Structure 1
Amino acid sequence: MLAPKLSPHAPAAQWKVTALGGGHGLSASLQALRRLDTDLTAIVTVADDGGSSGTLRDEFGVLPPGDLRMALAALCDDTEWGRTWADVMQHRFASRPESARTLDRHALGNLLIVALWEMLQDPVEGLRWAGSLLGARGRVLPVSTTPLTIHGTVLSQSADGALSSRAVVGQVELARAAQKGRVTEIGLDPAGAPGTPEALEAIMEADWNVLGPGSWFTSVLPHLLLPDVRRALEQSKAKTLVTMNLTTDTSETLELDAADHLDLIRRYAPQLRVDAVLADPTSVEDVSRFREAAHRLGARVFFDRVGQRDGQPIHDPLRLAAAYRDVISSF
């Protein structure tokens, strides 16, 4: 079975853009990038082990579908069709308290994606069909077709001041442990899992590869931990843009400032050339230190107001789209 193809008479996009990440951060960048004249590909982490995704992963032995679902929903356009299907994909069932609750909190989009995977026996093809149904303005690919497990080391301090470190396995456990300590190391199992060929091709053929925003340890950095993906990012002739979070005060990064976030990219991908870093000025505590960290990556710094006007630490799609356009157009 082949998914519908675009008309050969469709006009070519101005830029080929590949966005890498997961969860709400990737959703934010996709909602912005789809508003530009782009041939857009989303490459999504597959290490989630919590909630509906974790349950489906365990019961069916599939990739966790949740972040892939969010990416598809983000690519739905602002027509009645697009808004309706985005809501359908994100809809979660609420079981009656007296029931067996087998579907409670499952997202319908997760079930749809798993159904397509079972029918087609191909994760990439299943996501292509889901995107066609939604009229998604871009394609969504898993970073690997191997389900991944993230692990890390967390340094904690007890009430008497003693320091101790412990190994943590799983995305949910790592995020929970990070609330009480500092993540000092992360890795993936299997460490040498191959990148999805279509994802590697998209990275190599892009004009721009975009990393972030998102949970730094569980959505952004995991892409750099897969050798195939890191090598593709390093060897691609595309320019690389890092989008910073609107706050560093997250459960994963309580003791890290904006400059530390950039230094982590350099730590896990020392050969990666970064061309641009986009940040909201309100999210950078020490501008001089931040510029120095960006310089170590080889990047120019762009400051722009990209958060919502009410001050919530959520990216505004229109503001972020305008900022992306300005950054890309400056090269």
Structure 2
Amino acid sequence: MSEEQGYFETPPAPGKIVVIGGGTGQSVLLCGLRRYPLDLTAIITVADDGGSSGTLRDYLRMVPPGDIRNVLAVLSNASQDFLDLFQYRFSNDAGFLAHHTIGNLMIAALAEKNGDISEAIQKLSTMMGVQGHVYPVVNEPLNLIARFKDGTVLRGEAEITAAHKAIDSIWVENTAGNSPLADSDVINAILGADVVVLGPGSLYTSILPNISVPNVAAALRVTQAKIVYISNIMTQKGETDDFSDSDHVKVINRQLGEQAIDAVIMNTGKVPEDYIDWQRWNEISHQVKSDPDEVRKLGAVPIMGDLMDLRDDGVFHDANKLADLLYQIEEDARNNG
């Protein structure tokens, strides 16, 4: 309707993108996406058991707060002074506070005060002016369990990552040894999305722990959203050595029980030889092999481009390039059904 008629047209609702993952890749991607008029939801792994997050998890029997903290920070409209304090990490000689961040301690305090991690995150989101929705995949800490190709089994994300061994299968349990379930907020976000994004991040420790939750996997199988996987640029030592883009997709589809991935964002840029400081980034092995024809055979559309951000003697995804691609995918999904 026109302004002359005395009222305005209702603006269209923003597109809905759900990002499922963990680690730095998820928060970096969300930082790029927040530039767009989108309704963003982050669903975050709770299997981390290392560092400050692992210590608070063990002592307070709470979900690990580190990845949640980073996502809250990148989606927050709080002042930079507050965010600098929120992300401040105590030094090595700070006694029992060593290595802890202020943000992790705030999340722990609110969780204890409210008796519920989800309510704590929502209150902190309001306090920080967070642009979007932030949910742990489940409201209790999860144990990540891996069976390796050599038949051995390890429990715990930190130990699995440190083993640098080829993984055969992976699953999650709660502390009682039972199969966990996600809350309705998580499931409804997946079912109501235009686009669901998996990654970027470690295949076995950032992505699979989330989709190993049974009702999350079920929601991904039935959602009408376009499911997009952001393939890693580099393989992870021991775990995904010699993996191609399609190898990553096969693992995800196997975990979900069907060919659920609709599109794969794949890097075509070549990592310069002798650029990476292999000692500093000792968890990576070499560049992921690009095989778009094999990706197509899995029922997914390859979306290709030079997506690299070369910095700090390492190679990362360029958050703005990823966000540009995902915004276009979201618009296409809404316009074309």
TM-score when scaled to structure 2? 0.83
Alignment of 1:229-240 (within 5 A): 229-240=216-227
Determine which of 321, 324, 331 is the counterpart of 2:323: 321
> One-letter code of the match for 1:282?
G
How big is the shift at 1:271? Answer: 2.6
Conservation of the 8 A alpha-carbon contact between 1:182 and 1:255? no
How big is the shift at 1:95? Answer: 4.6
How big is the shift at 1:301? Answer: 0.9
1:134-183: CA deviation from partner (whole Å, max 9, x where unpaired):
2221111010112110011224xxxxxxxx43111100000011x2x211
Helix, strand or coil at the partner of 2:234: coil
Conservation of the 8 A alpha-carbon contact between 1:233 and 1:272? no
How big is the shift at 1:122? Answer: 1.9
- Report % sequence identity: 34
Report the counterpart of residue 51 of structure 2 in structure 1.
Answer: 51
Report the counterpart of residue 162 of structure 2 in structure 1.
Answer: 176
Report the counterpart of residue 127 of structure 2 in structure 1.
Answer: 133
Q: Give me the whole-angstrom Cα distance separating, in 2, the residues matched to 1:116 and 1:122.
A: 8
Q: Aligned pair 1:94/2:95, yes or no?
A: no
Conservation of the 8 A alpha-carbon contact between 2:138 and 2:183? yes
Q: Give me the whole-angstrom Cα distance separating, in 2, the residues matched to 1:13 and 1:69.
A: 28
How big is the shift at 1:37? Answer: 1.4
How big is the shift at 1:203? Answer: 0.7
Q: Aligned pair 1:67/2:67, yes or no?
A: yes
Determine which of 244, 258, 273 is the counterpart of 2:231: 244
Q: Aligned pair 1:295/2:297, yes or no?
A: yes
How big is the shift at 1:13? Answer: 4.3
Helix, strand or coil at the partner of 2:62: coil
Q: Give me the whole-angstrom Cα distance separating, in 2, the residues matched to 1:65 and 1:171.
A: 15
Q: Give me the whole-angstrom Cα distance separating, in 1, the residues matched to 2:226 and 2:215.
A: 18
Q: Give me the whole-angstrom Cα distance separating, in 2, the residues matched to 1:306 and 1:13.
A: 29
1:166-224: CA deviation from partner (whole Å, max 9, x where unpaired):
111100000011x2x21121111145211122111111111111111101101111122
Report the counterpart of residue 5 of structure 1 in structure 2.
Answer: none
Q: Give me the whole-angstrom Cα distance separating, in 2, the residues matched to 1:115 and 1:15.
A: 34
Helix, strand or coil at the partner of 2:309: coil
Report the counterpart of residue 4 of structure 1 in structure 2.
Answer: none
> One-letter code of the match for 1:127?
I
Determine which of 260, 264, 272 is the counterpart of 1:273: 260
Which has the higher mean CA deviation after the structures are superposed, 204-213 or 185-194?
A: 185-194
How big is the shift at 1:105? Answer: 0.2
Report the counterpart of residue 186 of structure 1 in structure 2.
Answer: 170
Report the counterpart of residue 5 of structure 2 in structure 1.
Answer: none
Report the counterpart of residue 212 of structure 2 in structure 1.
Answer: 225
Helix, strand or coil at the partner of 1:209: strand
Helix, strand or coil at the partner of 1:19: strand
Which has the higher mean CA deviation after the structures are superposed, 227-236 or 25-34?
A: 25-34
1:245-286: CA deviation from partner (whole Å, max 9, x where unpaired):
222245642342322111101111133522211121137755
How big is the shift at 1:233? Answer: 1.1
Report the counterpart of residue 276 of structure 2 in structure 1.
Answer: none
Conservation of the 8 A alpha-carbon contact between 1:204 and 1:238? yes
> One-letter code of the match for 2:88?
H
Judging changes above 3 Å, is the alpha-carbon distance between structure 1 residues 327 and 250 closer, same or farther for their aligned structure 2 residues? farther
Judging changes above 3 Å, is the alpha-carbon distance between structure 1 residues 309 and 56 closer, same or farther for their aligned structure 2 residues? closer
Which has the higher mean CA deviation after the structures are superposed, 36-45 or 311-320?
A: 311-320
Unaligned runs of 5+ in 2: 1-9, 271-286
Q: Give me the whole-angstrom Cα distance separating, in 2, the residues matched to 1:131 and 1:12.
A: 24
Conservation of the 8 A alpha-carbon contact between 2:187 and 2:219? yes
Report the counterpart of residue 200 of structure 1 in structure 2.
Answer: 187
Report the counterpart of residue 14 of structure 1 in structure 2.
Answer: 14
TM-score when scaled to structure 1? 0.85
Report the counterpart of residue 106 of structure 1 in structure 2.
Answer: 100
Conservation of the 8 A alpha-carbon contact between 2:233 and 2:288? no
Conservation of the 8 A alpha-carbon contact between 1:277 and 1:301? yes
Report the counterpart of residue 216 of structure 1 in structure 2.
Answer: 203
Helix, strand or coil at the partner of 1:124: helix
Report the counterpart of residue 141 of structure 2 in structure 1.
Answer: 147
Unaligned runs of 5+ in 1: 1-9, 156-163
Root mean square deviation, CA, Å:
2.2
